Structure 1
């Protein structure tokens, strides 16, 4: 029994080490890919940034493409999971502000990953061709249907759901993707917490008012 307990503890310890190293590598990869793009980034650069031997990087990720996909997948999964929480039976006056705040928080916490995604899209999305297939279109139509339900129920104005979704995505990700421009306009010494709190209030007010969503 003692051996089994010891083995269990060893497995848990190994699991924690793996999680720690994978997070360290992904964070380093986000920074390198965001700065140099997929072609300009090497596994050695990621290893140097992470402070790990290059062999360790290959242990967790077979090659650069696999590591790149992992970075893209992480941020897409975060964005999609928060968007999937919107339900046709919800009150948009409650869930839309929550969604806007969540997306802006992702921009604050994961700006490099957002920039990697933006660079991939600007280059034509060559590594996302399988992602943007029929399943994606079906998923998008399902998300748009939530807004159509709210419109039919008189909870918001008859605004085109697709373009509203694009507005939600673009406005919230802007604070990560165009941080250099924002810092130039507002000053780099502006506290990040203040910036994002103001952005959250402003976007929420503009979007809800524009959609005719009443807040009690």
Structure 2
């Protein structure tokens, strides 16, 4: 059977940029990243191996290495793609909007992401728990600037008396903690709630709505 990587190379030669990728290359890259996400989210970066990722992807290890030279390259690719999606709800926080609606909308957006992207949440959590060796420049740079910018918006709302005077940074941290918990500790949540609760997210949303409505009341 003709190896997919060899076939892709035969079609494209040395050209492997995004614009020149064949359908085979695009398919294999998607398969590899999906497999890497599955393995990294379960095993962490240190516990994951190229052999595990190749097995989940259904590709040979040489085929895997044709597209990505190392597991670190896959990990960085996944994290880079994740961060734009992960930060979009915070970027949407509108200074001209209603303060409580904007903050609670952000909280609900984060909870929906925990529901819809649990593996991505665990991938990011594992990176942070390891000291963010691959993402530290982003966290200390772009992420910090974005959080500081939105914290200033929240302080402005507080100065106008439109929401309660709570520390903006710790408010944002609390939203991260209370929403991402449902992804990062999914097994624990479901075990404690029991099998009669098939989906914890609707009740989580009602609880967090009430919690933040009381917290933010001016």
TM-score range, shorter chain: 0.7 to 0.9
Q: 1:190 to 1:18 in 2, by over 3 A?
A: farther
Which of 131, 154, 160 is residue 124 of structure 1 equivalent to? 131
**1:30, distance to aligned residue in structure 2 (A):** 1.7
Question: What is the aligned counterpart of 2:166 among 135, 145, 159?
Answer: 159
Q: Is it true that 1:199 corresponds to 2:204 in the alignment?
A: yes
* Residues 211 and 76 of structure 1: CA distance in aligned 2, closer, same or farther (over 3 Å): same
Measure the CA separation in 2 of the matches of 1:171 and 1:66: 31
Q: Partners of 2:202 and 2:132 in 1: how far apart?
A: 32
- Give the secondary-structure state (helix, strand or coil) at the position aligned to 1:191: coil
> Which of 54, 64, 68 in structure 2 is aligned with 1:61?
68
1:147 positional shift: 0.9
Aligned equivalents of 1:103, 1:64: Cα separation in 2: 28
Q: Secondary structure at the match of 2:202?
A: helix
What are the residue-to-residue correspondences of 1:1-216 with 2, within 5 Å? Answer: 19-188=26-195, 190-192=197-199, 195-212=200-217
TM-score, normalization by structure 2: 0.81
Of stretches 108-117 and 20-29 in structure 1, the one that deviates more from structure 2 is 20-29
Aligned-pair CA distance for 1:140: 2.0
Contact 2:45/2:126 (<8 A) preserved: no
**1:112, distance to aligned residue in structure 2 (A):** 1.4
Task: Report which stretch shifted further, 150-159 or 127-136.
Answer: 127-136
What SS is found at the alignment partner of 2:112?
Answer: helix
Distance change in 2, residues 1:69/1:16 (3 Å)? same
Gaps of at least 5 residues in structure 2 are 1-17
Distance between the aligned counterparts of 2:160 and 2:25, measured in 1? 48
1:68-120 Cα offsets, whole Å, 9 max, x none, are: 11222233222211110002111123223322222112111211121121122
Asked if 1 retains the 8 angstrom alpha-carbon contact of 2:36 and 2:53, the reply is yes
Bigger relative contact order (CA 8 A; separation at least 6): 1
